[in-house]
Structure 1
Amino acid sequence: MNKVKIDDSSKNEIYKYIKTKFNGGFKKNSKDDTWDIKLEDFNELIKKYLFQYDGDINLEKLVKYSSKEMDNLINSIKKDKIEFNDKKDLEKVSFSKYFHELYIRLDNFLIIEALNIKVCLYCNRNYIVNFKNNNGKQVTAQLDHFHNKDEFPFFSVTIENLIPSCPTCNIRKSNLNKEIFNPYSDCFHNHANFKYNGIVDSDEKYDFFHEKRVKLELEYFGDEHEKIKAENYNSVFNIKSIYNEHRNIVSDLLKKEIIYSDEYVEKLYENYKGIFKSKKEVFDMVLNTDINEDEMNNSPMNKLICDISKQLGILKKR
């Protein structure tokens, strides 16, 4: 939900890895598909189709393209009404196959590790961690193509087109025709907040702070275009509906706001200085997470906890 910060060194690392796929030639030898292409020949093929839009285009530049550069290229191609998924054009079919095969051979473990992301970028709800076991490297993430790889095959291995996501969000996003935020350029977090909207009127079935009595809403902000993208985002990933199943978190925060007064937190800090280095660490323990927007992509439910804690004034106590 928060914007991804990726530096040039990470992009260089990923491209260096992709480039190794051409060591000795990039080959496929199957019953229906046999070919062998060198990196320099592949770059010439890329130029054949995309040189008119970018005179310096090659595989390295495509891999490192920013989301804005992708948008500009897509707009130019659409303006010229050029299609790369036309099965009647055999040359374009071969061009697409190379990119699709290159993506298939990617090591998702390495990509996720280079990006240093532990939670689904779309929902901020599910872990997508790497781990190792007796079977080797394992990943719980999928790499969603923000721009459809069938329509735009040359973005199949573009880093800012690969969105680490949980399987559920990847399925929901498939073949999307609604405009949403690409987390490498902008994000839902910058244009929508979860908002605690009071307690439902008296209900004898539930205690006052019971989660079923908590009203949780989404509030959009920004210009009209940004609000539409935020609304689309909510619609695609069912954000409001899903998070309303986690109102117990809001209920707990309401209780903690009352229990952990400034005086109580100060007392905990003074009594346990050997455990806590600062009052912030006390609050991080209370909230069960490090409330830091820069760490949002590494902690599940961090967006919800951060928004409600700000609204209740808990963060000011830190």
Structure 2
Amino acid sequence: MIKITNFYSEEEIERYYQFLIAKKPKKKSGDTWISDRKINEVGIKIVEFLNKLPRNDTEEISDFKELITMSSSKLKKFHSSLKTEDSAYLQLYNDESNQELLNLYKSYYTRYFTSNDRKIKIKNNISLIKDLGISVCPYCNRNYINSRHDKLGCEFDHYFNKDKFPFFALTLSNLIPSCSTCNRIKGEKDYDFYPFAPDWKENGKFIVSPPSKKSSIALFFDRDSQSDNLLQLETAYEIHEKDVSEMFRREEIYCKEYREDLINRLSGNGKVDNEFSEEFFDSMIFGEIANDGFDDYLNHSLSKLKKDTYDYIVELRKGEV
């Protein structure tokens, strides 16, 4: 629903890379734990495997660091170029030794992604979300994704699921910070909306109705895609009819006549100047979403619903509906 406009800083990307290559996994053989290869050593093999897969594009991934830090545009392009139905692709992918390599690499996400980075003394996933600077799930714009006392931290959805595409299991642009509800509903299914896509235009819009027995909240998408409401967002937002009703109630209470009366009263006391505009009152009544150019949706829960509702209220006020 809401595009993530910023990617991680260069410093955070480097921290993430160093965090991973410092890991030296261990595996169990019977009752004994034995040293395994470091993640970057396995990553090099994964890159070699990836560059052997049949693709429609000849551009290759240069090394393990590029694999885990590639841009969203390169990730989408590389994914689209994979000939996943080609017999040669399936033969390579299903080869027993390759499957062992892919499963080992995929396991690193579960084993290490949410573990502590000892250098900064917080969990890796918490560091990532702090650097990204968002606190609300981009899929639903309802649930907060902050940590509690640096213990749990945000969940991350694999946009291209890690069972079908295990080689993207640790790639930052494939990991979408999300709430647990959206993460579980989406699961392994394909989804049209990719929050990191730089060319994505906001395609969801809430259509609301004034308070009545037939009041409703509908979410419309511009694009023809069966997966747009995959996350069942309309059902999720039914509970927020009371939030919409409250906004209409405020508009009714603080109507044009009330505002003019208040200005006149203040004028009589010499306490009014040009700052008492319609925009000024709206900011006081409806909050930040009434400000010109508001776009901080990823730090304000329900802000997309409230912004669309506010815009509709202004249209009604001006007689444009």
TM-score for both structures, normalised by structure 1: 0.76
**Residues 75-94 of structure 1 correspond to what in structure 2 (within 5 A)?**
75-79=80-84, 80-81=86-87, 82-83=89-90, 89-94=96-101
User: 1:260 — aligned with what?
Assistant: 254
Residues 86-129 of structure 1 deviation map (CA, whole Å, 9 limit, x = unaligned): 66512332233124314531222112112111111111111111
Structure 1 residue 244 corresponds to structure 2 residue 228: no
The counterpart of 1:138, out of the listed 152, 165, 186, is 152
User: 1:233 — aligned with what?
Assistant: 228
1:281 Cα deviation from its structure 2 partner? 6.6
State whether residues 138 and 178 of structure 2, in contact with CA within 8 Å, keep that contact through their aligned partners in structure 1.
yes
- Greater shift, 302-311 or 47-56, is seen at 47-56
Structure 1 residue 110 corresponds to structure 2 residue 160: no
Residues 203-261 of structure 1 deviation map (CA, whole Å, 9 limit, x = unaligned): xxxxxx35x4423223332xxxxx223x5222x11111221221111111212223334
User: 1:18 — aligned with what?
Assistant: 17
State whether residues 257 and 314 of structure 1, in contact with CA within 8 Å, keep that contact through their aligned partners in structure 2.
no
Count of residues paired in the alignment: 290
User: 2:76 — aligned with what?
Assistant: 71
Judged with a 3 Å threshold, the aligned counterparts in structure 2 of structure 1 residues 44 and 120 are, in CA distance, closer, same or farther, namely: closer
What code does the residue aligned with 2:100 have? V
The counterpart of 1:97, out of the listed 74, 97, 104, is 104
RMSD of aligned alpha carbons: 3.6
Q: Secondary structure at the match of 2:25?
A: strand
Task: Give distance in 1, aligned partners of 2:287 and 2:144.
Answer: 16
Judged with a 3 Å threshold, the aligned counterparts in structure 2 of structure 1 residues 299 and 115 are, in CA distance, closer, same or farther, namely: same
Q: Secondary structure at the match of 2:3?
A: coil
Residues 40-72 of structure 1 deviation map (CA, whole Å, 9 limit, x = unaligned): 634531332123554342222122223332222
5+ unaligned residues in a row in structure 1: which ranges? 199-208, 222-226
The counterpart of 1:183, out of the listed 195, 201, 205, is 195
Q: Secondary structure at the match of 2:296?
A: helix
What code does the residue aligned with 1:112 have? I
Task: Give distance in 1, aligned partners of 2:144 and 2:47.
Answer: 39
Judged with a 3 Å threshold, the aligned counterparts in structure 2 of structure 1 residues 245 and 269 are, in CA distance, closer, same or farther, namely: farther
State whether residues 21 and 40 of structure 2, in contact with CA within 8 Å, keep that contact through their aligned partners in structure 1.
no
Judged with a 3 Å threshold, the aligned counterparts in structure 2 of structure 1 residues 242 and 31 are, in CA distance, closer, same or farther, namely: same
What code does the residue aligned with 1:78 have? K
What code does the residue aligned with 2:309 have? I
Structure 1 residue 122 corresponds to structure 2 residue 118: no
Structure 1 residue 156 corresponds to structure 2 residue 169: yes
What code does the residue aligned with 1:194 have? F
The alignment-based identity, stated in percent, is 26
Task: Give distance in 2, aligned partners of 1:176 and 1:272.
Answer: 59
Residues 3-57 of structure 1 deviation map (CA, whole Å, 9 limit, x = unaligned): 10224x525413422323323x622232468553246634531332123554342
State whether residues 209 and 217 of structure 2, in contact with CA within 8 Å, keep that contact through their aligned partners in structure 1.
yes
Judged with a 3 Å threshold, the aligned counterparts in structure 2 of structure 1 residues 189 and 76 are, in CA distance, closer, same or farther, namely: closer
Judged with a 3 Å threshold, the aligned counterparts in structure 2 of structure 1 residues 41 and 314 are, in CA distance, closer, same or farther, namely: same
Q: Secondary structure at the match of 2:206?
A: strand
Larger radius of gyration: 2
What code does the residue aligned with 1:10 have? S
Task: Give distance in 2, aligned partners of 1:88 and 1:245.
Answer: 49
5+ unaligned residues in a row in structure 2: which ranges? 53-57, 114-123
Structure 1 residue 48 corresponds to structure 2 residue 48: yes
